[in-house]
Chain A
Amino acid sequence: MYGSGIPLRYTTFPLPIAGVSREQHQTYVNGNDPVTGKPVMPQIVDALTKPLTEEEQLTGLPEGVVEPRLLSPDTEENLQEYLKEKDWTDYLPVVLPTEERVAAMLKGTSHKTDELVQTIAWPGGGRQLTVEKVAVSAVMAGAKPEYFPVILAASTMVPFGNSTTSMANMIVVNGPIRNELGMNSGIGAMGPHNRANSTIGRTFTLLSKSAGNLHAGKTTFGSLGSNLQYNNLCYAENEEALPDGWESLSARFGFKKEDSVVTVGVGWTYVSCVGELVTTYPPQMLIRDYMKSLSGMGSVACLCCDPLVAGILYDQGFTTKQKLAEWLSKNVSIPVEQFWGNGIITTGYTNIALQGLEPFATWLKLPPGSMVEPFNNPNAINTVVVGGQSNTIWFITDFGLRQGISVDDWR
């Protein structure tokens, strides 16, 4: 298969690999490739011994499949069905991206229609994601043209995570653009209650499926998938309600207050505190307890808390977000066997621990029952203040937030 820029030949094994016996693995070896239907071992021998075909002798990054720019005219019902057949939607109705609607969306930016936003190289070859293609998905998601700069900035991080686990994304917006677009950072900000929050997040999904070429069972194999991928946890930070001394998320990444910024995170877990805070158990203690259920991968955690919670934490002495991160970093400890008991840690860390990277090299040798602090890097623990102050609610998540992206650069 010519798909990675070099003439590699692939044999595909059935899933799952994890959680099944060696005997089951042996049946995979003795069985057929689930993609080609051919016996695995003869296929491997052929791949290693038969001369390369003309296509396999090509070099460079292959072109991805290019779909026609325009579809033939048809009824709305048929076109909606066509988009579903192509698996380019989230199976909710979309706004049909007519030339007029796409042209209107493109007025939301000064960037040229054919400007390249990024080339998505995996899976399946290099696909050119242009400003116009982003506009098509933005229209389909129901976005307004004024949302387009935020969408373009976020689209530099498309597609969403491709994993057999339930990987998902978080999209946080900071700066003046929040209020310009009427984004919700108050009551219900993380629910389906605001057009900008909803459609910016949804566009990320539609782009991931179309330009990102992610199709369940074909190019992506998340066993359960994630409901968070419908909207990618898109919301704005409630900057106006930050306690004194607490900087916004984008300020933490070095942006100024007047900068509009979108930050995209990758993670899996989203746990609600469920009930209000009580006076007998300070919030940092309960947050610490909940963090013990996270994998600790990369020392990453992201607390999403109502301004009321932020205020109580402030009164507890956490006069900056960083102080809270440092306290959590030192106070969350778990048994070492729990740390290594998570497959994402074992897969991601074992080899480099065996190669000597600390502290994992030491942790690998510890006896069961030894306690370790998996959140050993406070800089990877973020806090975002969001919510409408109707209750002292918070979520702890394991979303790793990447460097913020300037929205102003995409106006």
Chain B
Amino acid sequence: MPRITCEDLKQLMDKGEEVVVIDTRDSGSYSTDHIKGAINIYYNPAGDPIERELPFMALPADKLLVIYCDCVDEADSSIMATELKAQRYDINNIKVLEKGYMRWKELDYPTEKSEY
């Protein structure tokens, strides 16, 4: 799956490019903090696949989707990206965030809390 670095994502966001950033962690982790502007679609590989896929359908097909997790080798975000590709999202519009949320935090880039 194609990757994007945190630096490149930050640059795109600073330029005001239309990017949908997806946090694949559980809702508790997302609420505590997440990349500013990200939405939360929890990736549960052992859960009901239909339940997992429903939120995918809300994602715009004409915008860049950047997916991140906080696991080793971006495992969850890579699998979600593969599933999105199978749903016929254009692979050129899907990127996995390299080194994930841990790297974003290391760089001290903007994060936010959420009540949702």
Contacts and interface: CB of A to CB of B under 8 A. Distances in A.
Contact of A348 (B54, B60, B116): B54
Interface stretch (A82-90, A195-203, A314-322, A352-360): A352-360
Interface string B1-45: 000000000000000000010000000000000000111110001
Interface in B85-100: 85-88
B40 A162 contact: no
A253 B41 CA distance: 26
A4 B45 CA distance: 9
Interface centre among A266, A352, A358, A403 (most CB of B within 10 A): A352
B107 interface: no
B57 A298 contact: yes
A349 interface: yes
A4 B116 contact: no
Contacts of B88: 253, 379, 401-403
Interface centre among A122, A299, A380 (most CB of B within 10 A): A122
A380 B37 CA distance: 25
Nearest to B38: A355
Contacts of B53: 266
Given A61-B46, A355-B114, A402-B88, A348 B58 contact: yes
Contacts of A401: 88
A141 interface: no
B39 A352 contact: yes
Interface in A367-411: 377, 379-380, 400-403
A348 B62 contact: no
A213 to B, nearest CB: 12
Interface in B54-87: 54-62, 85-87
Given A352-B55, A360-B58, A5 B40 contact: no
B50 A163 contact: yes
Contacts of A348: 54-55, 57-58
A122 B49 CA distance: 8
Interface centre among B20, B37, B46, B54 (most CB of A within 10 A): B46
Interface residues of B, number: 28
Contacts of A349: 55, 58
Contacts of B40: 351-352, 355
A402 B87 contact: yes
The majority secondary structure among interface residues of chain A is: loop
B61 A5 contact: no
Interface in A112-166: 121-123, 161-163
Interface string A241-281: 00000000000010000000000001000000000000000
Contact of A355 (B39, B50, B56, B60): B39
B58 A121 contact: no
B48 interface: yes
Contacts of A173: none
Contacts of A298: 56-58
Contacts of B54: 297, 344, 347-348
A300 interface: yes
B58 A122 contact: no
A302 interface: no
Nearest to A125: B46
A378 B116 CA distance: 30
A300 B57 contact: yes
A324 interface: no
A352 B50 contact: no
A380 B86 contact: no
Contacts of A162: 48, 50
Nearest to B30: A355
Interface of B: 20, 37-41, 45-50, 53-62, 85-88, 114, 116
Interface of A: 4-6, 61, 121-123, 161-163, 167, 253, 266, 297-300, 344, 347-349, 351-352, 354-358, 360, 377, 379-380, 400-403
15 contacts: A6-B46, A61-B46, A121-B45, A162-B48, A297-B54, A298-B57, A349-B55, A352-B39, A352-B55, A352-B58, A355-B40, A355-B116, A357-B58, A360-B58, A402-B86
Given A163-B50, A344-B54, 10 more contacts: A6-B46, A122-B49, A123-B48, A253-B88, A266-B53, A297-B57, A352-B39, A355-B40, A356-B39, A402-B87
Q: Which 8 A-B pairs have the closest CB atoms?
A: A298-B57, A4-B46, A355-B39, A354-B116, A348-B54, A352-B39, A161-B50, A377-B61
